[in-house]
Structure 1
Amino acid sequence: MKRITKFMNALMEKYLPDPYIFVAILTFVVLVLGVIFTDSTPLDMTIHWGNGFWGLLSFTMQMVVVLAAGHVLANSPLFKRILASIAKRIKSPSMAIIIVTFVSLIACWINWGFGLVIGALFAKEIARQVRKVDYRLLIASAYSGFVIWHGGLAGSVPLSIATEGHPFQNIMGVIPTTDTIFTPYNLFIVIVIVLTLPFFNRFLMPKEEDIIEVDPVLIKDEDIELPAPERNFASLSERSYLITGFIGLLGVTYLVYHFATKGFILDLNIVNTIFVILGIILHGTPQRFLAAVQDAIKTTGGIVFQFPFYAAIMGMMTDSGLASVISSWFVSISNETTFYLFTFYAGGLVNFFVPSGGGQWSVQAPIMLEAASTLNADYAKTAMAIAWGDAWTNMIQPFWALPALAIAGLKAKDIMGFCVLVLIFTGIIISIGFLLF
């Protein structure tokens, strides 16, 4: 395993380009495939590309906020002490990898946005405390928990089809989460991954001479610099605990109302609200909070300027019909036994080009649900096969790794060698789950 890991890391280091170059290559590939396999011309594909460019604008802003707000929260004095206290209890590199993976898995099962940020922040704090742990593997382990998000409480596909008035209700009706998230096959997949992936990641640990420890610059704990206080209204208001108390009370009151009336529902907006309100409260004064925001926003550049290119790719895939062509091919080679498995693989392939769970569902659902009807297959399980495919290939899709990489200060090629092996391992488990049940 150590030899395989070393080979994969060397391969990724040599051939995996920067995420921006990666998305440029994907754009070219999709454009060419669209011309070959659909009736679109190069001009048509270009128009689809331009029309989709801003299709993920609101989602991009949500991701910017979740990353920046997570940074702000992590840099608060109390949160620093909590993370440091937990990290100090971890005594060995092996334990560090296992614990980080487990925490990330649980957090991502609860909510993917929460898990992405907390896992990376926790891994970074452990790197401060534990010597001789491979920093690349530590961050890859934090990211690997993301593989189960679509089988968890915030899975966009199961939550969508459980909502009255969803786009495909006339075909499949409203399907409760007891028929998706809490089914035996889904729980089998989740539980097996949660119990085995931490130890699998531990076996990916390089030999001692191949370990790359964290660059001290990446984890240097710098205090936020604040201007000298002055005796005027502007300075006094910026250092006012009263303003923080007012905004904090407002935010907490709303959150209590939300959970009291809607139950424990965590969408990305609620996660962001929690992060922002806690950040405001824990920094104490507006001045400290705003200084932390200024520092955090530096890490969001990759998201701001790369997500639109993925939205453009999604536009080409959907408007040209290429996504439907791919899905239909997998359907054509399926039978009653293999349908769910090939639906899962189709979801994994389409996810490369449509890295949005909701967007992918809207593209694949018409084809897959029609095939399910023909084969007398279960609609709910078909939906979950697409959902798991979407989550699975995130392991080698730099799009979703950007937040964790920004927090860690690493590049995609630093962790992708490990993530390829996680992809293979979890792919076997998920495939078994859809074949056994």
Structure 2
Amino acid sequence: MKSITNFFDRIVQRYLPDAFLFAVILTIIVFIMGIFMTGSSPIQMVEHWGTGFWDLLAFSMQMALIVVTGYVLANTPVVKTALEKTSMLAKTPGQAILLVTFVASIASLINYGFGLVVGALLALQVVKRVPSVDYRLLVASAYSGFLLWHGGLSGSIPLLIATPDHFLQDTIGTIPVTETMFSSYNLFIVFVLLFTLPFLNRMLMKSREGMEIVNPVDWETSSFEDKYEEVEKNERQTPSERLENSQIISMLIGLLGLAFIIYHFATNGFDLNINLVNLIMLFLGILLHRTPRRFLHSVNNAVKNVGGIIVQFPFYAGIMGMMVDSGLSEQMSLWFVSISTEFTFPLFTFISAGLVNFFVPSGGGQWAVQGPIMIPAGIEIGVDSAKTAMAVAWGDAWTNMIQPFWALPLLAIAGLKVRDIMGFCVIILIYSFFPIAIGLLFF
């Protein structure tokens, strides 16, 4: 384990470029593949790329707000105290790894955006409590919890096919979550990963013993640390300054936001989507910072961390445009269908989804690409459509471990680069293949 872990870490540290260059290289690869594998002309591939380039603008804003609102909320006195108390459960590096992995996994099962933020914020507090822990591995452990998201309550594919009038309604009808999220095979995968990932990450920590651990973040000057000096109150404040320091203003707008959140849950049940996660963190941040001036000071510091998301996500949208419009994603999926039997179809669907996810790293977007191909093929072979859908869902989650797309918000909060954690994530990817494959094949 020591030699394997250190091998992947060295390879990634040496050869994996910055996340932006990773997206650029993927763009070039897909462009060339589209020409040679689909017969598309260079002009057509350029058109596919440019047409799709801005398709993720709304999603990019959601991810940017995940970082900003998570930063703002984490720097409120109340949340800082709560995170510090939670971090006190870890007294040793091993306990730190176990704690962060388990908490991040639970949070990701509740909601994927929530899991990314909670894992990063807890890692920041835990490393201050246990400074001898390998911070890069700690953040990788936080990200490993994200592996469980598509088997949890915010899984986009199982939620979509349980919704009336979804785009495959005429083919499979509506499939309740009892046959997807709460099926025996999905519960097996979730519980095995939930209770073994912490110990796998602890084994990775053991394999690092004896090596020099250099934590690349200076906590005293970290951009995450939000230093704020209270403005002295005096009678000479202008009306605008009094408004900026008014707790009443923050209270009124904060309570308005929380009223809508309560109304949403009362009328829609536990529908914790990404927009609602952002809304909750935004208005709690407004309330807990107490004054607009404190809140805006924190926001100004937070936006420094979202540059990677703003610049890189349009490139992934362009990659998705080339994959879908050229037919490249369809060709990949059909090849796996051609070599499948009734027994192996869920496994090959999972693997194909993992491959396609590398180029189309969005759960909903990937289902729109693969669902119309894999579902009819599964029905023809005799495979249950619910299992086919969950095989695509787990494939989407699986290769997120080595696809920087989803790691960007977490890394922005943690203050690391993708190469800092990806060597460890390769081991997590290899290990997680086995419980997922067993669940899809034998349950």
Match of 2:430 in 1: 424
Query: Cα 1:226–1:50, aligned 2, differ >3 Å: closer, same or farther?
Result: farther
Q: Is residue 19–residue 404 contact of structure 2 (8 Å, CA) maintained in 1?
A: yes
Partner of 1:166: 166
Q: What residue in structure 2 maps to residue 290 of structure 1?
A: 296
> Does structure 2 retain, via aligned residues, the 8 Å contact 1:48–1:315?
yes
The amino acid that maps onto 2:278 is: N
Question: Pairwise mapping of residues 371-382 of structure 1 onto structure 2 (< 5 A)?
Answer: 371-382=377-388
Counterpart among 251, 269, 283 of residue 245 in structure 1: 251
2:367 pairs with one of 357, 361, 364 = 361
1:257 maps onto 2:263 in alignment: yes
**Deviations 1:254-310 (CA, angstroms, capped at 9, x unpaired):** 111111111111000110110001100110001000100000010000000000000
1:343 aligns with 2:364: no
2:21 paired with 1:25: no
- Check conservation: 1:175, 1:380, Cα contact below 8 A: yes
Other-structure match for 2:390: 384
Q: 1:272 — aligned with what? A: 278
One-letter amino acid of the counterpart of residue 277, structure 1 = F
Partners of 1:30 and 1:429 in 2: CA distance: 30
Do the aligned partners of 2:224 and 2:413 also contact (CA within 8 Å) in 1? no
Indicate conservation of the 8 Å contact 1:357/1:390, yes or no: yes
Partner of 1:223: 227
C-alpha displacement of 1:213: 3.0
Amino acid at match of 1:245: M
Shift of 1:222: 4.5
SS at 1:131 equivalent: coil
Contact 2:224 2:415 in 1 (8 A): no
SS of structure 2 residue aligned to 1:174: coil
Number of aligned residues: 437
Task: Give, as a single letter, the amino acid of the residue that structure 2 aligns with 1:125.
Answer: Q
Q: Which runs of 5+ in 2 are unaligned?
A: none
Q: Which residue of 1 aligns with 2:358?
A: 352
Contact 2:75–2:226 (Cα < 8 Å) also in 1:
no
Deviation at 1:68, TM superposition (A): 0.3
Aligned residue in 2 for 1:194: 194
- For residues 325 and 221 of structure 1, the distance between their equivalents in structure 2, rounded to whole angstroms, comes to 48
Q: Compute the displacement of 1:373 (Å).
A: 1.6
Query: Pick from 199, 212, 215: which aligns with 2:214?
Result: 212
Higher mean alpha-carbon deviation, 303-312 vs 201-210, is at 201-210
AA aligned to 2:75 is N
Q: CA deviation at 1:429?
A: 1.1
- Give the share of equivalent positions with the same residue, in percent: 55
Structure 1: 5+ residue stretches without partners = none
Equivalent-residue separation in structure 2 for 1:227 and 1:40 (angstroms) = 62
SS class of match (2:281): helix
Question: Partner of 1:117 in structure 2?
Answer: 117
Distance 1:315 1:104 in 2: 32
Task: Determine the structure 2 residue equivalent to 1:150.
Answer: 150
Q: TM-score, normalised by structure 2?
A: 0.97
> Contact 1:226–1:291 at 8 Å: present in 2 too?
no
SS at the partner of 1:334?
Answer: coil
User: Aligned partners of 1:226 and 1:60: how far apart in 2?
Assistant: 33
- TM-score, normalized by length of structure 1? 0.98
Q: Deviations over 1:175-211 (max 9, x none)?
A: 1111100000000000000010000000001114332
Distance 1:221 1:42 in 2: 47
1:69 counterpart residue number: 69
Relative to structure 1, is the Cα distance of residues 89 and 219 closer, same or farther in structure 2, using a 3 angstrom cutoff?
farther
Asked if structure 1 preserves the Cα contact closer than 8 Å seen for 2:217 and 2:415, the reply is no
1:222/1:253 CA distance change after superposition, 3 Å: closer
Aligned to 1:310: 316
The answer as to whether partners of 2:223 and 2:301 remain within 8 angstroms in 1 is no
Aligned alpha-carbon RMSD (Å):
1.2
Structure 1 segment 18-97 matched on structure 2, within 5 A: 18-97=18-97
Counterpart code for 2:393: A
